[in-house]
Amino acid sequence: MSATIQTISLQGRAVCVTGAGGFIGSHLCEQLVQAGAKVRALVHYNGRGDRGMLELIPAEITKEIEVIAGDIRDPHHMLRLCQGQDTLFHLAALIAIPWSYEAPQNYVMTNVVGTQNLLESVRICGVRRMVHTSTSEVYGTARYVPIDEAHPLQGQSPYSASKIGADKLAESYFLSFQTPVVTLRPFNTYGPRQSARAVIPTIASQLLSNQPELRLGSLDPVRDLLFVRDTVRAFVLAGTVEGIAGETVHVGTGVGVTIGELAARMMALSGREVPIVSEDQRVRPAGSEVMRLLCNPARAKQILGFEAQVSLDEGLREVLASVAGRLDQYRRATEYQR
């Protein structure tokens, strides 16, 4: 890290994570506890008392986390959530792109209104730093690559439009009220605990369960794949580097791979080579497929001192091992849901 980049320690600081029951959120909570923070974790309320992926964190770590069930659409609850907090990491969102075509208002209410509730709560409660989670999907199919932070935004799906709305609200709260928000825009994160709906766990579960063929959607889209440990490290930096309020920062590797190339790589790593079948029901709705997402990571290196450290093969090996350990759960979840 550059000597000019100053960070604070999270040791003893009150830190809140929304979306803590999710893939990235659970890994972030784990890292924050290890950094000595006092972690408050918001999980989406459900009648089963399900804490999501927090259930997979070692017990010695989860006992250090204050888990709260709630809904970011409730402004009063979010105000109480933020009281006494030093840092807020906002990861809660609806993210399944196909469902956004079926229920777009749900995406607006959660991703836009929910984010506004948190921004207002951060402003009122005087939280030192809010890290707001964006997505590379806000660019649609790229007009140029690698994609830098100046690339035009394109609402290519109701999901991406809702995230653009949330990002712009974060920008407006900084410009209007000097709310200390940083927008972190990860490209395609992968790793252990990822949903079975995502392409890498889908490939892994099919290969490990000895399916005679690999059933996928489009093989042509290009993705910049960032391992979850690297993504979480970027979140911590976004919450601790001083003097970066108001910034929007990309995190990625700067290296692209097609879905077809990814499948071939995972077959080589698993020792199983099978035919690939492209199924229509696994292809995104017409016009929604984002064909190229390739990060320009220069800004992250400049202001966060961030560079990806985990190679693709190293990360894929960890995913294969993780999916192998929970193969029955992944196999049950692989049936395509629209």
Which ranges of the chain have pLDDT less than 70?
1-3, 280-288, 332-338
pLDDT (0 to 100) of residue 207: 95
CA 298 to chain centre: 20
How would you label 90-108 residue by residue, b for 16+ Cβ within 10 Å and e otherwise? bbbbbbebbbbbeeeeebb
Residues 39, 46: Cα–Cα separation, whole Å: 21
* Domains recognised in the chain with CATH numbers: 14-190+225-253+303-309 (3.40.50.720)
DSSP code for 241: B
Name the pairing type of β-strands 276-278 and 188-190: unpaired
pLDDT (0 to 100) of residue 330: 81
CB atoms inside a 10 Å sphere around CB 5: 17
How would you label 283-320 residue by residue, b for 16+ Cβ within 10 Å and e otherwise? ebeeebbbebbbbbbebbbebbebebebebeebbebbb
pLDDT (0 to 100) of residue 251: 98
In the chain, % of residues over pLDDT 90: 86
pLDDT (0 to 100) of residue 286: 61
pLDDT (0 to 100) of residue 266: 97
Per-residue pLDDT tens over the stretch 104-151: 999 999 999 999 999 999 999 999 999 999 999 999 989 999 999 999
CB 19 within 8 A of CB 25: yes
Q: Which two tokens stand for residue 20?
A: 């803590």
pLDDT (0 to 100) of residue 338: 33
The amino acid sitting at 109 is M
pLDDT (0 to 100) of residue 3: 54
Instruction: Report which of 238, 120, 131 is spatially closest to residue 181, judged by C-alpha positions.
Output: 131
CB 190 within 8 A of CB 314: no
The amino acid sitting at 68 is I
The amino acid sitting at 168 is K
> Coil, strand or helix: which one is 13?
coil
pLDDT (0 to 100) of residue 335: 53
